[in-house]
């Protein structure tokens, strides 16, 4: 493995082929309101999202910056980090921010059976509900890894698949370099911006965040939690 590639070192071809094969199924989920990629383009709001936390250092630094500007965001949490750092999760909620589900252990979803994938989501939802009193309906797949097999499970699961801007998923590697690709250049009304505050040294993200928020505000774009940008999540494959 390498620090940049993490557990996906040497598997980029497999990843991109799986994503390519999954595109029709993802489009079908989007059309059915089960996959969210962006909000209305005529409303001057942008959803800031942070993945891979909570983190004992960087989550708090991100929260302090957001509070300074009165900005809101959504934090897609990894379940075992939630169990280890419950106070950080409660701090997120107390700051008026939203929570999302980013799996229990951040696996490469292609490697899981359907039952294991459901367990990754459900166990994290249960832990967030226990710690923070909220069971988020949003699920973001680690690495943005979506194959037809993964999407078939998600189509039957009550969680709403939540992606981010720039169209089709990219291979998002662990480590500090990834966020240099995720800064919101060229975002507009309704965009969902992906950043990270866990699973590595996120000092670059923390250092860049004030300029990111100031840039959005200067363009008249309000940073909000996902719930303010998105329609209410459907609770099942039939919207029941």
**Which pLDDT belongs to residue 165?**
78
**Helix (H), strand (E) at residue 81:** helix 79-84
Q: What are the pLDDT digits (tens) for 33-59?
A: 999 999 999 999 999 999 999 999 999
Residues 155 and 172: their CA atoms lie apart, in Å, by 23
**Which pLDDT belongs to residue 172?**
46
Q: Given 38, 81, 157, 196, which residue is catalytic?
A: 196
pTM to 2 decimal places: 0.89
**Annotated catalytic, 51?**
yes
**Which pLDDT belongs to residue 112?**
97
pLDDT tens, N- to C-terminus, the chain (240 residues): 676 666 788 889 999 999 999 999 999 999 999 999 999 999 999 999 999 999 999 999 999 999 999 999 999 999 999 999 999 999 999 999 999 999 999 999 999 999 999 999 999 999 999 999 989 989 999 999 999 999 999 999 999 999 997 544 444 443 333 343 344 457 899 999 999 998 888 888 999 999 999 999 999 999 999 999 876 555 445 444
**Which pLDDT belongs to residue 3?**
61
Spatial CB neighbours of 186, under 8 Å, sequence gap ≥ 6: none
**Which pLDDT belongs to residue 99?**
97
**Helix (H), strand (E) at residue 122:** helix 114-132
Q: Given 38, 51, 81, 97, which residue is catalytic?
A: 51
């Amino acid at each position: 493995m390498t620090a940049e590639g993490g557990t996906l070192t040497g598997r980029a071809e497999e990843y991109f082929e799986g994503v390519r094969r999954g595109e029709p199924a993802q489009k079908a989920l989007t059309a059915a309101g089960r996959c969210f990629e962006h909000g209305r383009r005529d409303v001057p709001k942008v959803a800031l999202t942070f993945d891979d936390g909570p983190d004992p250092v960087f989550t708090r630094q991100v929260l302090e910056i957001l509070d300074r500007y009165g900005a809101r965001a959504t934090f897609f949490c990894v379940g075992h980090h939630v169990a280890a750092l419950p106070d950080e999760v409660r701090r997120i909620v107390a700051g008026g921010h939203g929570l999302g589900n980013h799996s229990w252990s951040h696996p490469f979803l292609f490697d899981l059976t359907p039952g294991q994938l459901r367990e990754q989501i459900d166990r994290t939802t249960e832990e967030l509900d226990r710690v923070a009193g909220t069971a988020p309906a949003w699920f973001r797949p680690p690495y943005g890894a979506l194959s037809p097999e993964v999407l078939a499970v998600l189509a039957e699961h009550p969680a709403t698949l939540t992606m981010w801007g720039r169209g089709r998923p990219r291979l998002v590697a662990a480590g500090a370099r990834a966020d240099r690709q995720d800064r919101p250049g060229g975002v507009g009304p309704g965009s969902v911006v992906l950043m990270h505050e866990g699973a590595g040294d996120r000092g670059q993200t923390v250092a860049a965040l004030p300029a990111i928020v100031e840039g959005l505000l200067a363009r008249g774009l309000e940073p909000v939690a996902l719930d303010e940008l998105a329609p209410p999540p459907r609770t099942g494959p039939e919207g029941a």
